A = this chain, B = another copy of it.
Amino acid sequence: MDASQTYCFTMRKESRIIWWMRWIVIVTASLLLGFFIGWSANTTRSNSANKSTSGKYLKELLQGMQPDQIRQHLWKFTRLPHLAGTEQNLRYAEQIGKEWLEFGLDTVEMVPYDVLLSYPNKSQPNYISIVDQFGSEVFNTSLAEPVPEGYEDVSNIVPPYSAFSAKGQPEGDLVYVNYGRTEDFSQLEKDMGINVTGKIVIIRYGKIFRGNKVTNAMLAGAKGVILFSDPADYCAVGVQSYPHGWNLPGGGAQRGNIFNMNGAGDPLTPGYPAKEYTYRSNLENVVGLPNIPVHPIGYNDAIHLLKNMGGQIPPNNWKGTLDVSYRIGPGFTGDFKSQKVRMNIHTNNQVTRIHNVIGRIRGALEPDRYVILGGHRDAWVFGGIDPMSGAAVVHEIVRTFGLLLRKGWRPRRTIIFASWDAEEFGLQGSTEWAEDNAKMLQERAVGYVNADSAIEGMYTLRVDCTPSLHTLVYDLTKQIASPEEGEEGVSLYESWHKRDNWTNDRDAPRISKLGSGSDFEAYFIRLGIAAARARYTKNKETERYSSYPVYHSVYETFELVDKFYDPTFKRLRAVAQVRAGLIFQLAESQLLPLDVNQYADSLGKYAQSIVQLAQRHPQEMTKYEVSFDALFSAVGNFSVAARDFHERLQTLNREEYDPMPVRVMNDQLMYLERAFIDPMGLPGRPFYRHVIFAPSSHNKYAGESFPGIYDALFDIKNSADTAKAWEEVKHQISIAAFTVHAAGMTLTPPA
């Protein structure tokens, strides 16, 4: 075709019509085409786009967190002691709140409560004496721990004490009761024939929550409790004492609260937030508050109390590694027979103001769905590990989320960050806030990630979480790098799997059940919000000490972490990545990353394991007609419902233009954990309401599955009325079966 042509049309009427028709057809076709493109553009709006963007932001989040920054946060918040209720802990709260706002959170608020705390009397120090027959104090325990180098000028270091101890100066003979567990007291009474009524018991720390030791001692009739750290339980083999290593020095001692609050939070306002106008019970009406003096000592002091004790030599598993014979008493031997032990305890209970810091990122699409990252800020002294290793991680997570916000990202759901107060006094800050916001949390909370101490060992990752989060934890740790030296290119998952294989179960790293002893308690066990915690830990198989050696002592400093636990701060970064990744995925995934099939699997295993516990009494099971059939049938129904639910998920309409079907199934996912909550509570523990998970009544730290049945079976041995005790087992099986059945029902199509 050349550049110029001449077209001649002789337009007759017909051809003009054709010409018009052609135009009309073309324009109409274009309009129609445009219409459909417009319609469907509106329809498929950014669904897949969202997904890949979301993946990109996850990567940025994980890579954005910096070891150096974490180190700096930790340094900054461990300069001074910041016990709950003190001025300094309020200062840190204000600083955290201010920085969170600077990082870019939408809102930050300071939320105060007035709760019952407990402090030593500043003018009358607590100590324990050995007194001779004339009443003279021939030995006194130390009034404080030797202050670590570099902190000599620091004031306001609270000396070791047992919070919520009764006041008093009981005097009497000592009895040694090993770890003070139910079985230890039972062995003492039944096998060794020793009654501790009117005695002062000396118990070593370890194995169970110290509050349970005190409860057991009270029930047995003791008039005082001395808690000591034995090197067997608080020193690692081949490690030097702090500051040359991370073992507990002989002058160090473990502070801690000794009150079994069983989920009540502030003991004066159980069930309600401790606000200014809240009605407070009289102290004498507080259930379970210790009514005997309790005091903790280090092993240097413990030697003096133990070395002259008389009485029987106990079995080997009652012996620690001090150079004493661990005789059980009562009282001293030989020349020392007339000596007694006197406790001098002047600790006061006191209603005190505490402060939580609550920050938020508003959700873009579902502002009424909450994902919570919470950890405490209050520390016994500096809190080098507990809790500031966790708080530093939270700070870095908030900083990095702030960076994403600046880039224009906003999560689908609302994220809430919390710096809790007074955790060390019985999870009070977190529990009061949960009580204050119970209705909203119950209706809106998708998940809670706990952020207490981020490290307690140098070996590998440790995760405790609800079964529905297992899959997310595994997926996520595959996207995070191992922090261990020499493991470049190895994922955290592989590194963890290699070190802590779940050999007796499945080919995956170990994930444990949630117990209690940290701030997730009210969220998980009372309110039924899916929860998880993650930290770096020791080698469970080879390192037999309890917790970590300097736990709750003055030696929990910045240097402890910087020199020994995580000099590169890569382990803390890895923990930050796990915690942040969980929050991100819970807040951002279109479909909630909760795996109901995994819950079904776990329920099956728990049912198996609880029936095995019962089957230790085969004759009684027959005699009292104890059957687990209803429980197994409920678990079966649950599993079918979970499988069907999962199948429906596959065909779910996930177009963003029609969000209702996704919201409906997400609500089913969110409320599944809630379905295990029984408003009646577990027997005698109205605030422990999770029928599948709670600590046993005998050790707050350990999470048990089917805790109602577990406790009822535990009590069989000690019950005076066996028939009645088995009735209680049957009652608890029935409740568990109903609850699992009802939970399964919530997964069926809603109508």
Residues of A within 8 A of B (CB): 3-13, 16, 23, 26-28, 30-43, 106, 271-273, 275, 277-279, 360, 362-363, 365-368, 370, 414, 436-440, 443-444, 629-630, 633, 657, 659-660, 663-664, 667-668, 671, 674-675, 678-680, 686, 689, 730-731, 733-735, 737-738, 742-743, 745-746, 749-751
Contacts and interface: CB of A to CB of B under 8 A. Distances in A.
A106 B32 CA distance: 38
A734 B277 contact: yes
Contacts of A34: 30-38
Contact of A751 (B10, B414, B678): B414
Contact of A367 (B4, B737, B745, B749): B749
A31 B37 contact: yes
Contacts of A10: 4, 6
Given A35-B41, A278-B738, A751-B368, A674 B439 contact: yes
Contacts of A279: 730-731, 733-735
Contacts of A23: 26
12 contacts: A7-B11, A33-B34, A35-B41, A106-B751, A275-B738, A278-B734, A278-B738, A279-B730, A279-B733, A414-B750, A439-B671, A679-B689
Contacts of A674: 439, 443
Given A7-B11, A439-B743, 10 more contacts: A4-B12, A7-B8, A8-B9, A26-B27, A31-B31, A33-B34, A38-B40, A273-B738, A278-B738, A679-B679
Contacts of A36: 34, 38
Given A6-B8, A731-B279, A367 B13 contact: no
Nearest to A727: B279
A392 to B, nearest CB: 26
Contacts of A686: 680
A6 B36 CA distance: 38
A275 B741 CA distance: 12
Contacts of A365: 660
A439 B368 contact: no
B675 A439 contact: yes
A633 B27 CA distance: 66
A572 B248 CA distance: 81
Contacts of A733: 279
A509 B410 CA distance: 50
A599 to B, nearest CB: 15
A745 B440 contact: yes
A234 B183 CA distance: 67
Nearest to A738: B272
Nearest to A275: B738
A671 B273 CA distance: 20
A85 to B, nearest CB: 22
Contacts of A742: 436-439
A76 B317 CA distance: 78
Contacts of A32: 34
A148 B731 CA distance: 48
Contacts of A273: 738
Contacts of A13: 3-4
Nearest to A273: B738
A16 B4 CA distance: 9
A649 to B, nearest CB: 15
Contacts of A629: 277
Nearest to A368: B750
A284 to B, nearest CB: 13
Nearest to A414: B751
A97 to B, nearest CB: 18
Given A30-B31, A663-B660, A745-B440, A367 B750 contact: yes
A664 B749 contact: no
A582 B125 CA distance: 69
Contacts of A679: 679, 689
Contacts of A751: 106, 360, 362-363, 367-368, 370, 414
A143 to B, nearest CB: 40
Contact of A6 (B11, B370, B678, B746): B11
A206 to B, nearest CB: 36
B38 A271 contact: no
A675 B38 CA distance: 43
A637 to B, nearest CB: 12
Contacts of A737: 277
Contacts of A678: 271
A129 B742 CA distance: 51
A12 B660 CA distance: 59
A33 B38 CA distance: 9
A662 to B, nearest CB: 10
A729 to B, nearest CB: 10
The 6 closest A-B pairs by CB, nearest first: A34-B34, A38-B38, A35-B38, A30-B30, A279-B734, A368-B750
A674 to B, nearest CB: 7
Most buried by B among A32, A39, A362, A660: A39
A668 to B, nearest CB: 8
Contacts of A360: 751
Contacts of A106: 751
A614 B410 CA distance: 51
